């Protein structure tokens, strides 16, 4: 297992390098970050533009800028991923991209972590139940719920959940569900129980919105994988030996059926990131989604690079974890 793990980890290094190159090139060729400054009326003094070009390293060639972005060698001390600097921002000289990312990352991780755990747990349960009760009423019901969830856009369902939350609060006469904000500042100064209830109030609705699409697709994949395993010869043999159905499912079928789902979840991380941007906008969370939107609105190229690279690294690491889980779920894979 150690050799398998080391080989997989080393295999991600060239992929990370390629991801950094693609991220830099795509943002660099997408436009001039000083377009708004150049279009101001009356036109700014040329010396102002030259100063900003020098500050943003636009007076250097693309290969030089990429080298600066990675290493920081030859820069002004505000750039270099290897030094923990993401580059200067077009928004202001005092805007620290790294600090903003770190602050917002914790907010987004709360939402994504809760949504993925809930979606994965419910998807496995729904998929197994649907497969074991194939063509029953509960199977048809779960299938209908899955297709209904897949058909609902995140921004629309988010608005519906906000309206439902407000209506429920009015019905009970107090705020049970918070419909706007992430609740970080509201929880300051409260005791442990107060922080827990505050977090639940702010996280419940956006977590449901973000997890719904993932739950719908993952449960369908789990159902298909489970049906294939249940119809396999070794499962039929286990049943023929007289093992209880629950034992067959828990000890033999489920572990094998989780292998395809692992791939689907790893690939679906990109979709979860996209859904996070929309969910955070609907519920006005100060997370990475808002960071991304602000970077687009201000044409902040280095902030966009940081967001895209972080998203790419997340997807790459998710696939690495999936590869390692293959070796745990199926020992034959790590010995190949």
pLDDT digits (tens, 9 = 90+) for 298-316: 899 999 999 999 999 999 9
Query: Could you give phi then psi for residue 86, rounded to 5 degrees?
Result: -95, -5
Please report the DSSP string for 274-293 in residue order: HHHHHHHHHHT--SHHHHHH
Say what the pLDDT of residue 210 is.
94
19-30 pLDDT, tens per residue? Answer: 999 999 999 998
137-180 pLDDT, tens per residue? Answer: 999 999 999 999 999 999 999 999 999 999 999 999 988 998 98
Is the Cα torsion angle 172, 177, 180, 186 positive or negative in sign?
positive
Say what the pLDDT of residue 328 is.
77
pLDDT confidence of 111, banded at 50, 70, 90?
Answer: very high
Residue 228 has pLDDT above 70, yes or no: yes
Joined together, the tokens standing for residue 313 give 């690294």
The distance in angstroms from the start CA to the end CA of the chain is 11
Q: Are 15 and 288 in contact (CB under 8 A)?
A: no
Whether the predicted model's global pTM rises above the 0.85 cut: yes
pLDDT confidence of 43, banded at 50, 70, 90?
Answer: confident
CATH 2.60.40.10 fits 106-297, yes or no: no
Residue 103 has pLDDT above 70, yes or no: yes
Say what the pLDDT of residue 335 is.
52
CA distance 282 to 182: 11
- Closest listed residue to residue 19, CA positions, set 327, 323, 313: 313
159-170 pLDDT, tens per residue? Answer: 999 999 999 999
Higher pLDDT, 326 or 11: 11
> 3-state DSSP call for residue 86?
strand
- Closest listed residue to residue 57, CA positions, set 278, 268, 277, 305: 305
Residue 240 has pLDDT above 90, yes or no: no
Q: Are 278 and 289 in contact (CB under 8 A)?
A: yes
């Amino acid at each position: 297992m150690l050799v398998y793990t080391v080989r997989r980890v080393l295999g991600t290094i060239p992929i990370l390098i390629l991801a950094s190159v693609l991220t830099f090139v795509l943002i660099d060729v997408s436009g001039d970050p000083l377009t708004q400054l150049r279009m101001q009326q009356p036109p700014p003094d040329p010396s102002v533009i030259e100063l900003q070009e020098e500050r943003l390293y636009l007076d250097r060639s693309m290969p030089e800028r990429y080298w600066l972005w990675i290493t920081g060698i030859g820069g002004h001390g505000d750039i270099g991923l290897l030094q923990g600097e993401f580059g200067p921002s077009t928004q202001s000289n005092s805007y620290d991209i790294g600090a903003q990312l770190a602050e917002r990352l914790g907010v987004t991780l709360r939402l994504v972590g809760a949504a993925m755990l809930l979606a994965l747990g419910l998807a496995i349960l729904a998929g197994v139940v649907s497969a074991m009760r194939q063509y029953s009423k509960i199977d048809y019901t779960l299938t209908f719920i899955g297709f209904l969830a897949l058909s609902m856009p995140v921004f629309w369902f988010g608005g519906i959940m906000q309206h439902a939350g407000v209506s429920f609060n009015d019905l009970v006469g107090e705020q049970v569900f918070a419909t706007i904000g992430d609740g970080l500042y509201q929880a300051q100064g409260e005791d442990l129980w107060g922080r827990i209830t505050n977090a639940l109030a702010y996280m419940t609705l956006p977590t449901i919105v973000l997890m719904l699409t993932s739950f719908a697709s993952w449960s369908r994949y789990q159902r298909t994988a489970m049906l294939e395993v249940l119809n396999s010869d070794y499962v039929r043999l286990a049943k023929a030996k007289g093992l209880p159905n629950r034992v067959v499912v828990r000890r033999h079928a489920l572990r094998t059926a989780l292998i395809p789902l692992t791939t689907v979840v790893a690939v679906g991380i990109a979709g979860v990131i996209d859904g996070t941007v929309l969910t955070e906008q609907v519920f006005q969370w100060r997370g990475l989604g808002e960071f991304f939107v602000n970077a687009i609105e201000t044409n902040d190229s280095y902030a966009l690079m940081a967001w895209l690279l972080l998203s790419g690294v997340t997807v790459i690491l998710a696939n690495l974890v999936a590869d390692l889980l293959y070796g745990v779920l199926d020992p034959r894979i790590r010995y190949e």
